[in-house]
Amino acid sequence: MRRLRGIILSFGILLLIVPGAPAAEVLTNDAIVTMVKAGLGEELIVNKIKISQGQYDLSTAALLRLKTDGVSEPIIKAMLEASAKPESLGTKSEQAVAPLPAGAQEAQEKAAIALYRQGKTAEAAVEFDKLIAGNPNDEGLKVWKALALLEQARGMRDAKAPQYKPLVLNAWAILRAMGQEQQANPDWNLAVGKALWLNERPERGKGFVEKAVSLRPNYAEALLLLGDMAYDEKGLSNTADPTVRWRSIMALRKAYENFLAAADVPPDQRAEALFKMDMISADFEKKNEAARDYWQQAVAADPDSRYGRMAQEKLNTMPAK
C-alpha cells in the first residue's frame, strides 16, 4: 500500500510539471519545424497536418521564419489549407469518422505496430492517429500513439537533437487525458514511466515501469526499458570507485539478461537488447570480439529492425578478424 501511494504521488507531481497540458495533440509552427529538422519526409508531414488539429501562426513574418527553418512550400501550403477550412465543420477530432470493418482495422493496427517495431515511429504515430479517428474511445490505441511519440523522442534525444521535448509533452497529454483509472493497465504504466524518464525524472519513471512488470510478469518491453534506465545510471558512475563502477556494469548486464530470458520476446526487441549488450562489451568492458558476437546475434534476431540495421552498420565498419 505504501508503494502504491508513492507511485500515485509521483503521478501527481508530474501533473505539476506539465500544467495545463492539452487533452489532444495540436500541431504548431514549432512542431512542424521539429519534424522537418528530425528528417521526416515531406509527404509524411503533409499527411500528419491533414489528420491533426493545428494552431498555426501564418503571418507573413511567421511564414518567412518557416522558410528560413527549412520548411518546404508544400508543407506550408498544407498548413495554410488546414487553417482555411471552415470552422463550421468542427475540429478533426469532432468530425465523425466511420470506423473500419473489424478485419480491416485489425490489419491496419498490426501494420502500425509493425512500423513501430521497425523504428519508423513517426509513420506509426500517423497510422495510430488514423485508427483513433475512427475509434476515439479505444484507450489501447491511444497508449500505442503515446509510445510511438515517446520512442520518436528517444531517437531524437539519442541523436542529440534538442527538439525532442515537445514530443514527450504531446505523449504526456494523451496519457494524462486517460486518467488514473488506467493505473492497473501495464501498457499505460510503461508509457508513463518512459515519459518521466525522457523528462529527466528516471527514479519516478522507474517506479511506473516496475509496476508494469508487476502487473504483467515477463513484460518484455518494460524489462528492456529497465535495462535502458540502468544504462543511464551506469553512465553516472564512470568516474566512481572501480568497485562501484564494476557493480553498476554487472547490474546493467543483468537487466538485459533478464529481458532476454523472458518468454516470447519479439524479434525486434531481442535485436535491441543484444545491440545494447554489445555496447556493454565494447564501451565499458572493452571486449571488442564479444561485441562483434552480440552484433551478429542482433542482426540474426531481426535484420530489418532499427537495432538490427544499426548492428549491421557496426559490423560493416569493424575491422576484419
Instruction: Specify the amino acid at residue 221.
Output: E
Residue 265 lies in a domain: yes
Q: Are residues 162 and 250 in the same domain?
A: no
Residue 268 lies in a domain: yes
Q: Are residues 110 and 22 in the same domain?
A: yes
Q: Which residue among 124, 148, 179 closes a domain?
A: 179
Hey, what's the cell of 222? 518494460
Q: Are residues 67 and 148 in the same domain?
A: yes
Domain range for 255: 225-317
Residue 127, Cβ neighbours under 10 Å: how many?
24
DSSP state of 160: T
Q: Are residues 168 and 276 in the same domain?
A: no
Residue 91 lies in a domain: no
pLDDT confidence of residue 62: 77
pTM of the model as a whole: 0.61
Q: What is the largest CA-CA distance in the chain?
A: 68
Q: Which residue among 142, 162, 179 closes a domain?
A: 179
Question: What gap in Å lies between CA 294 and CA 309, rounded to an integer?
Answer: 13
Question: What gap in Å lies between CA 161 and CA 195, rounded to an integer?
Answer: 17
Q: Are residues 32 and 162 in the same domain?
A: yes
Q: For position 313, which CATH number holds? A: 1.25.40
Question: What gap in Å lies between CA 96 and CA 11, rounded to an integer?
Answer: 33
Residue 196 lies in a domain: no
Q: Are residues 158 and 257 in the same domain?
A: no
Give the Å distances, CA to CA, from 220 to 33, 155, 259.
34, 19, 6
pLDDT confidence of residue 1: 45
Q: Are residues 270 and 141 in the same domain?
A: no
Q: Which residue among 149, 179, 209 closes a domain?
A: 179
Residue 188 lies in a domain: no
The model's pLDDT over 257-291, given as tens digits with 9 standing for 90+, comes to: 777 877 677 888 888 888 877 766 655 555 666 77
Concatenate the DSSP letters of all residues of 86-109 into one string. -GGG--TTTS--PPPPHHHHHHHH
Domain total in the chain: 2
Q: Are residues 164 and 261 in the same domain?
A: no
Three-state secondary structure call for residue 263: coil
257: left (phi over 0), alpha (psi -120 to 50) or beta: alpha
Question: What gap in Å lies between CA 45 and CA 65, rounded to an integer?
Answer: 18
pLDDT confidence of residue 281: 64
Q: Which residues of the chain have pLDDT under 70?
A: 1-25, 84-100, 102, 231-242, 244-246, 248, 263, 279-289, 320-321
Q: What is the rounded average pLDDT for all residues in the chain?
A: 77
Question: What gap in Å lies between CA 165 and CA 153, rounded to an integer?
Answer: 7
pLDDT confidence of residue 124: 87
Q: Are residues 115 and 31 in the same domain?
A: yes
Question: What gap in Å lies between CA 207 and CA 194, rounded to an integer?
Answer: 10
- Do residues 234 and 248 touch, judged by C-beta distance below 8 A? yes
Concatenate the DSSP letters of all residues of 196-225 into one string. HHHTT-HHHHHHHHHHHHHHSTT-HHHHHH
